[in-house]
Amino acid sequence: MYENLLPRFLRYVKTETRSNSKSETTPSTQTQVAFAQTLKKELEELGMSDVTYNETNGFVIATLPSNIEKEVRSIGFIAHMDTADFNAVDVNPQILENYDGESTIKLDPEGKFTLNTTDFPNLKNYAGQTLITTDGTTLLGADDKSGIAEIMTAMEILIKNPSIKHGTIRVAFGPDEEIGVGADKFDVEQFNVDFAYTMDGGPVGELQYETFNAAQADITIQGKNVHPGTAKNTMINALQLAIDFHNQLPKNEVPEKTDGYEGFFHLAELSGTPEEAKMTYIIRDHDREKFEARKALITKVQEIINQPFDQERVQINLYDQYYNMGEIIEKDMSIIELAKNAMIELEIDPVIEPVRGGTDGSKISYLGIPTPNIFAGGENMHGRFEFVSLQAMEKATNVIVKIAENNAK
């Protein structure tokens, strides 16, 4: 049942599909367009119906028609095609069979980059399993090509095994999730399902229906630069104002000092000269009131920094990115119970905890399709230490099939 899962995954990760936040096109890169066309052809060859590529939003969508007579809710499964902001050219996956759960894994021949249980204690969970790693020069792309491979393989299993009963299933593979705009143009009317799941989580068992509320603040600070030897009472150093701005924010409410439901301010970019400086913050909180308070504090700090001057030195473009999908999904928890029970039947312990980030499901839920997130198996995503277990991908594939089967009962 899984004979095509690993070859499919390896083929996907070797295809470069990094997104580009500076692009103004959708998808943001032509490599994603090319990959989408490849996936469209594969879906057609599998025997899926109504296979389309939407040129407006970059999504490949296909249907597996119901094979039962009674009416049941239709389900969607979604994964994203792009990879994160790290080298993704010439991905060379390494396969380590029957890992012992203890040994240090050399990613590159020289051993400059390693996976070891000191830095990555979760390796101990993979004794006896087949690991797919990088060669130390690129990311792997399990985020989210493991999700694509799992959905594709689950559809193949259902098509080849008509004795497994299911309702209508729709699949969608989309662009630009990593740069936060992938679902902005998602067409819920075209997708036309009652609920969906993104296969975009991490280790086995993850089941997530709460995400951050998210905003971004792009800040420009205008200084006044003169010769430092005659600068007294004249120079306004934009870099110093940037430092002053940052120091007005709570020093412990940053990503490296928070976890669970704790929100943060994250200084993602800082550049400039005494004449002009630019800063970018991402603002995150699961609680909507606390989220709004964080945005208000950014504006308050702007007022504080500007107050001594006769003109506005600090200008801010503050905008929301996505919201906590839990506010939508909590209205009907049956789709969480459906996924949870599928995992339990497969002897997988569900791990229900908030996402310290967002998924395409965050936006799709607010567009009208409740869309929680299920594990896809990857660990250490977005960098050279990324890896995934073949057995984890098999379990994710099983969850998709079991959800479809149980929904038809």
Q: Which of the residues are catalytic?
A: 82, 177
CB environment 54-73: b (16+ within 10 A), e (fewer): beebbbbbbbbebeeeeebe
Categorise residue 382: left if φ over 0, alpha if ψ from -120 to 50, beta otherwise: left
- Angle at which helices 142-160 and 390-407 cross, to 10°: 50
The type of residue at 23 is S
**Binding site: what residues are annotated?**
80, 143, 178, 200, 382
The type of residue at 5 is L
What are the DSSP E strand ranges found in 232-378? 264-272, 276-285, 314-322, 351-352, 373-375
Tell me how far apart the alpha carbons of residues 140 and 238 are, in angstroms, rounded to a whole number: 39
**Binding site for Zn(2+): what residues are annotated?**
80, 143, 178, 200, 382
Instruction: Read off φ and ψ for residue 341, nearest 5 degrees.
Output: -65, -35
Tell me how far apart the alpha carbons of residues 31 and 16 are, in angstroms, rounded to a whole number: 7
Query: C-alpha distances in angstroms, 84 versus 143, 358, 389?
Result: 8, 14, 20
Instruction: Read off φ and ψ for residue 284, nearest 5 degrees.
Output: -135, 140
Tell me how far apart the alpha carbons of residues 377 and 390 are, in angstroms, rounded to a whole number: 8
Which residues have CB under 8 Å from 238's CB, separation 6+?
A: 221, 222, 223, 272, 273, 274, 275, 276, 277, 313
Please give the structure tokens belonging to residue 177. 């999730």
